[in-house]
């Protein structure tokens, strides 16, 4: 077993229960499932008519509208959850200006 460690510094989440960790957690603890009749398209011709859809959320608090329009919804959800996690961690300044001796990817906000 590897002795490498990982530290979770922040959380981000979009789920059928809400567009943040807080709203999703509140829904879970209240016993809500987030599953509902599919409303995004006509599901009458499919054997399953229920699903868990991510609710509408304001992507402009994460990216400029012009950039967001060029992305599919699932990409927007991943970016929003990642940006939520960075904000929750309190490491926004570190992500924007990492020390010169580090390696890795930079997430743009």
Structure confidence by residue, pLDDT tens digits, 47-98: 999 999 988 888 888 889 999 999 998 999 999 999 999 999 988 887 777 6
Q: Name the DSSP class of 60.
A: G
Name 28's Cβ contacts closer than 8 Å, sequence gap at least 6.
17
Tally the domains of the chain.
1
Residue 3, domain member (yes or no) = no
Residue 5, domain member (yes or no) = no
Residue 61, domain member (yes or no) = yes
Structure confidence by residue, pLDDT tens digits, 4-31: 888 888 999 999 999 999 999 999 999 9
Residue 14, domain member (yes or no) = no
Q: What is the mean pLDDT of residues 18-46?
A: 94
Residue 75, domain member (yes or no) = yes
- Residue 4 has a CB neighbour count (10 Å cut-off) of 5
What residue numbers bound the domain in which 31 lies? 21-96
Residue 72, domain member (yes or no) = yes
pLDDT beyond 80 at 108: no
Give the pLDDT confidence score for residue 103 in this predicted structure. Answer: 60
Q: Which two tokens stand for residue 54?
A: 């991510």
pLDDT beyond 70 at 105: no
Residue 31, domain member (yes or no) = yes
Q: Which two tokens stand for residue 82?
A: 């990642």
Residue 10, domain member (yes or no) = no
């Amino acid at each position: 077993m590897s002795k490498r460690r990982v530290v979770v510094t922040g959380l981000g989440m979009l789920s059928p229960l809400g567009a943040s960790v807080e709203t999703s957690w509140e829904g879970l603890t209240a016993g809500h499932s987030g599953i509902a009749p599919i409303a995004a398209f006509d599901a009458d011709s499919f054997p399953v008519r229920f699903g868990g859809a991510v609710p509408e959320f304001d992507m402009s608090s994460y990216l400029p509208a012009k950039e967001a329009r060029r992305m599919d919804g699932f990409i927007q959800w991943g970016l929003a959850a990642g940006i939520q996690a960075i904000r929750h961690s309190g490491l926004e300044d570190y992500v924007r200006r990492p020390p010169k001796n580090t390696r890795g990817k930079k997430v743009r906000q």
